[in-house]
A and B are shown apart, each in its own frame.
Chain A
Amino acid sequence: MEISENERSTKPSAAKSPVLAAVVALVGIADSAYLTAKHFNGTKVPCSVISGCETVLTSSYAEFYGIPTAAFGVMAYLLAFSLALLTVFGNRSMWNAYGAVTVLMTGFTLWLIYLQAFVIGAFCQFCLISAATSITLFAIYIVSRIFRTK
């Protein structure tokens, strides 16, 4: 879909990956921003038979040192977005920094999934969306590296 695809045929994925990463990071920003806003809002949704309502978001893991967990997500996604965007605009060294950030994010995400599954005993829909975007960001980096080294 990119016109520049032929020009950069030596590293096709490395060119497309940062664009994709920036888009996915935007999804992550929107999702975690929504969770952060809800944290400050305080209005609750009712619990239904199928959805896990706010069990997770009102748990003791919903904030660390008084800062909502989701706000850390917003910062991390903003950082990942910025680094991916800088890469898109030609600053290739930023791609490695992006990789480092996504490694940390994925680690944090796995821990949050563990908490939901084994400590809290409930999952939160928007938290799982965030987990998916974090892991996708990491996967994009890994894939871009694999294709580059070949």
Chain B
Amino acid sequence: MENQNGSGKSATPFIIIGLIFLATIAGIWWISQSGAPGKTTDQNVNNGGNNESQTQQAIDTYAKASAGASPEHFKGSQSATVLVEEFADFQCPACKDMHKTVNEINAAYGSQIKFVFRNYPLIQTHPKAYDAAVAAEAAGLQGKFWEMQNLLFTNQEKWSFEPNHRNIFAEYAKTIGLDVDKFSQDSLGITAKSRVDADMQRGNEVGIRSTPTIFVNGKPIAFEQSTVEGIKAAIDAELKKSAPVADDKKPVAEGNNNANSGDQKKEEKSSDDGSNSEANTEKK
């Protein structure tokens, strides 16, 4: 394998090749160890609270936006003072990861928060995301939105590249015990579609640039901070604002409350009065 034609320089190319090889291995190792590769994320809503006026502007835009699908799908308590809202796309891999994150959040806070899921299928880049959102809403018409939502996320790579994805959705419908005929009809009907469209409209109005995007009481959480810890910090800050006296009321791990629970209403009401004025003064 020795290069004899090179007239004395024969070792040089091998040294260079060896160095490039080592640099490549080192580079791969280094990037794969680092938390976030410095890729641009194109988020206009991207701010970690360091730019106050921008955050305030985002909150104002959020407050003015149309309501989205009504009634919304939510976990936790209807009357909770902290609203966590997620805009997601079923075909988006980062949203699949966020699904796990959000499950942890819901398990940790239970009825202390209201978690709302909004459909924001990126129809330009994800050809099956809209159909998946409609399937989730169609399941919702039979009261099993969250079951379908969970199956769609956890099996994302199984249906994303299948031409017959609708059949796969029908299988999921069967798995979670839906009336499959009704599900298939609803998947083509206007009711489920118009719910998705309403959510997308809301997404456009609140200024979604990418999925997943999480809002905590109208404040967009930057993607880099949308980890379990990051979202918890944002929720805790809001909880503190709304109930400064009840500091000892730490988040308790509870199971996922799937259903609406109006039970917490009285408890929340009592702390409401002091909290609102407090929140207002904080903002000004």
Contacts and interface: CB of A to CB of B under 8 A. Distances in A.
Interface of A: 26, 29-30, 33-34, 36-41, 43-55, 57-60, 74, 78, 81-82, 85-86, 88-92, 119-122
A16 to B, nearest CB: 17
A58 B37 contact: no
A43 B37 contact: yes
Given A47-B210, A58-B157, A74-B28, A26 B34 contact: no
B31 A91 contact: no
Given A47-B95, A58-B156, 18 more contacts: A30-B27, A33-B31, A37-B28, A37-B29, A37-B30, A41-B34, A43-B35, A44-B97, A46-B43, A46-B210, A47-B126, A54-B93, A60-B157, A78-B17, A78-B21, A88-B13, A90-B5, A90-B6
A47 B92 contact: yes
Contacts of B281: none
B12 interface: yes
Nearest to B208: A49
A33 B10 CA distance: 27
11 contacts: A29-B24, A41-B32, A46-B210, A47-B210, A53-B92, A58-B156, A78-B17, A85-B16, A89-B9, A92-B5, A120-B160
Contact of B161 (A53, A91, A120): A120
Contacts of B13: 82, 85-86, 88-89
B94 interface: yes
A122 B28 contact: no
A112 to B, nearest CB: 14
B137 interface: no
Nearest to B11: A89
Contacts of A50: 42, 124-125
B20 A26 contact: yes
A46 B37 contact: no
Interface size class of B (residues with CB under 8 A): 35 or more
Interface of B: 3, 5-7, 9-10, 12-13, 16-17, 20-21, 24, 27-37, 39, 41-43, 89, 91-95, 97, 122, 124-128, 156-157, 160-161, 209-213, 223
B28 A59 contact: no
B93 A89 contact: no
Given A81-B20, A90-B5, A91-B6, A43 B125 contact: no
Contacts of B160: 55, 59, 120
Contact of A37 (B9, B20, B32): B32
B124 A49 contact: yes
A30 B23 CA distance: 10
Contacts of B31: 33-34, 37-38, 41
A46 B212 contact: yes
B161 to A, nearest CB: 6
Contacts of A92: 5
A122 B127 CA distance: 9
B211 to A, nearest CB: 5
Contact of A36 (B16, B28, B42, B43): B28
A38 B93 contact: no
Most A-side CB within 10 Å, residue of B10, B28, B34: B28
Contacts of A48: 41-43, 122, 209-211
